[in-house]
Structure 1
Amino acid sequence: MSDKKAVFFDADGTICDMEKGVPDSAVESIKKLVANGHLAWLCTGRSRAFVSRYLEEVPFTGIISACGATIEKDGKRLYNNERTPEVAKLSVEILRKYGLIPVMEGADYMYYDKDEYTTDVNWYTDLITESLGEKWRPIRGNENCMHINKISAKKQKGCNAQQACSELSPYYDMIYHESNNFVGNTIEMVPKGCNKAVGIAAVCRIFHIAWEDTIVFGDSNNDLSMFEYAATKVAMGNASPKIKELADYVTTDMFHYGIRNGLEHLGLI
């Protein structure tokens, strides 16, 4: 166990908000954390293509994205677990067959059809498109050449999510979100055996970080694996009940200095 800690931060609901970006207090706190000699890793369910500018401006040591499927440090991609284009195409077909909307997430591009994935499905769809810029691609026309890590499948009224998940289970592990969360109508489909804990464990192995020195901050059910894995767990004030249950400490929410309060509580800043 060393004085140098490795802190892994979830993105949405933990250090950033889809509309408001990253609170200044969180940016300042992470700057202080790094200045104090600790490591600060982003560990997000977002695919790398969707790591928005407001996240790239935070001085992270490195980025684990797509629930552990992509790892990079200093702008260099160290690992990228992709589905084959054939599996991506099949996934779209199965999801649509059972009435779900496919949002295909890759390290370089995200693919969805704007006439299908509309603001009626998710109020923040336009914010995603705006954030992606050149990294957005339609599924239409790219059916055979999509490079994706994971999928956000959007449930609609009358869809048969259970059957879709069953048929896709050879390729993906499913993360179900609670309906009070802003991703409540989403089923995240991540590569089999891949999750945030696997990403963190890989980073620890590559960079010789002792397990005792791992700390995580999170709020939603795609953080469960890292909360089950890490030595010290901090839940945000707005976290799901399951995350709060596993936490060593529950801080305030991000707009009430949650990151700063959590890091101060741990004596890191």
Structure 2
Amino acid sequence: MIKALFFDIDGTLVSFKTHTIAASTMEALRNLRAKGIKVFIATGRQLQCIDNLGDLEVDGYITLNGGYCIAGSEDVIYKHAIPQEDIHSMLEYQRTVHSFPCACVTEDKIVLNYRNESVDALYEQIRLKAPEIGSIEALADKEIFQLIAFFTAEEEERIMAYMPNSLAARWSPYFADVVAKGCTKAVGIDRIIEHYGISLKETMAFGDGGNDIAMLQHAGVGVAMGNAMDEVKKAADFVTTSVDEDGIVNTLRHFGLL
């Protein structure tokens, strides 16, 4: 029996076309929570940047791709920062080899070194205000839980060689989320279910991007949206219709949860 549902936000819960959660999905999740099934968010976003869920109530959050997990609305139960040596290596690469837009995400802020067309395109796509511009070097010795790194897939291998204790995942051609090795949404699921006393086989996870693959492979049932990338669909147990075609509701009905 499924007791916990985990949802990516952008492209899974929230449509890139409407920038909202479908009314049918909202109603379904409210009904499931009323039956005692817990609903969790699993996102690359920082908690303060989750602004597109409407009035949906949830039971907790996996944020920053598993690097920062919250039970309820504010009980931090797990956090894992990028090792400082990797941050310093990245900054050295920026200074001496090639500069690229990069936002550093701490516990309470996001600072971006500069903007370009890729930065503007991403934040327009997700309808979110771009981070403040500032000195990322000033954050080098603070806990940084994620980098929003605007390098291409072709540049990724070269740049990540400077950060051997970190890993990159992307759901967009514009950028990659960089977190400490060992931080994935799958790890986030483990921390959440440990806190709530739920077994892994009682979980179902939904996603559409590369940073969802580990979560879909790990959950009791992994569901890829119809709009997901091909490698995400290959990693899933079940492929549903797209976010704009009631993919979540169709899945919940298929598995007898509605």
TM over 0.5: yes
Offset of residue 101 of structure 1: 1.8
Q: Find the aligned partners of 2:144 and 2:236 in 1 and give their Cα distance.
A: 32
> Identity percentage over the alignment?
26
Name the SS for the 1:239 alignment partner: coil
Name the SS for the 1:98 alignment partner: coil
Name the SS for the 1:55 alignment partner: coil
Shift in CA distance, 92/16, structure 1 to aligned 2, threshold 3 Å: farther
Q: Does residue 208 of the first structure (1) align with residue 201 of the second (2)?
A: no
Offset of residue 91 of structure 1: 2.8
Shift in CA distance, 143/85, structure 1 to aligned 2, threshold 3 Å: farther
Name the SS for the 1:227 alignment partner: helix
Q: Does residue 155 of the first structure (1) align with residue 151 of the second (2)?
A: yes
What per-residue deviation string (whole Å, max 9, x for no partner) do you get for residues 17-66 of structure 1?
A: 456132222222211221121011101122223222x2373211110101
Name the SS for the 1:67 alignment partner: helix
**Contact 1:102 / 1:153 at 8 angstroms: preserved in 2?**
yes
Mind listing any 5+ residue stretches in structure 2 that lack a counterpart?
Answer: none
The one of 160, 165, 177 equivalent to 1:165 is 160
Offset of residue 147 of structure 1: 3.9
Shift in CA distance, 156/83, structure 1 to aligned 2, threshold 3 Å: closer
Which residue identity lines up with residue 101 of structure 2 in the other structure? I
Question: Corresponding residue for 1:36?
Answer: 35
Question: Corresponding residue for 1:69?
Answer: 67
Offset of residue 119 of structure 1: 4.1
Shift in CA distance, 90/63, structure 1 to aligned 2, threshold 3 Å: same
Mind listing any 5+ residue stretches in structure 1 that lack a counterpart?
Answer: none
Offset of residue 126 of structure 1: 5.4
Question: Corresponding residue for 2:188?
Answer: 199
**Contact 1:220 / 1:243 at 8 angstroms: preserved in 2?**
yes
Q: Find the aligned partners of 2:87 and 2:38 in 1 and give their Cα distance.
A: 34
Number of aligned residue pairs: give it: 254
Question: Corresponding residue for 2:103?
Answer: 103
Q: Does residue 221 of the first structure (1) align with residue 210 of the second (2)?
A: yes
Instruction: Report the aligned-residue RMSD.
Output: 2.7
Shift in CA distance, 222/205, structure 1 to aligned 2, threshold 3 Å: same
**Contact 1:49 / 1:107 at 8 angstroms: preserved in 2?**
no
Q: Does residue 246 of the first structure (1) align with residue 235 of the second (2)?
A: yes
Q: Find the aligned partners of 2:181 and 2:118 in 1 and give their Cα distance.
A: 30
Name the SS for the 1:26 alignment partner: helix
Q: Find the aligned partners of 2:119 and 2:133 in 1 and give their Cα distance.
A: 17
Question: Corresponding residue for 2:6?
Answer: 8
Name the SS for the 2:66 alignment partner: coil
User: Which TM-score applies when normalising by structure 1?
Assistant: 0.83
Shift in CA distance, 105/246, structure 1 to aligned 2, threshold 3 Å: same
**Contact 2:105 / 2:144 at 8 angstroms: preserved in 1?**
yes
Q: Find the aligned partners of 2:134 and 2:127 in 1 and give their Cα distance.
A: 14
What per-residue deviation string (whole Å, max 9, x for no partner) do you get for residues 177-223 of structure 1?
A: 3xxx5x11322211111111111011122211112101111111111
What per-residue deviation string (whole Å, max 9, x for no partner) do you get for residues 232-269 of structure 1?
A: 11110101112212322211111111111111111112
Name the SS for the 1:238 alignment partner: coil
Deviates more, 1:214-223 or 1:73-82: 73-82
Q: Find the aligned partners of 2:144 and 2:199 in 1 and give their Cα distance.
A: 31
User: Which TM-score applies when normalising by structure 2?
Assistant: 0.86
What per-residue deviation string (whole Å, max 9, x for no partner) do you get for residues 67-86 of structure 1?
A: 11111122222222223667
Q: Find the aligned partners of 1:39 and 1:6 in 2 and give their Cα distance.
A: 5
1:80-99 aligned within 5 A: 80-83=79-82, 88=87, 90-95=89-94, 97-99=97-99
**Contact 1:220 / 1:239 at 8 angstroms: preserved in 2?**
yes
Which residue identity lines up with residue 234 of structure 2 in the other structure? E
Question: Corresponding residue for 1:23?
Answer: 22
Name the SS for the 2:232 alignment partner: helix
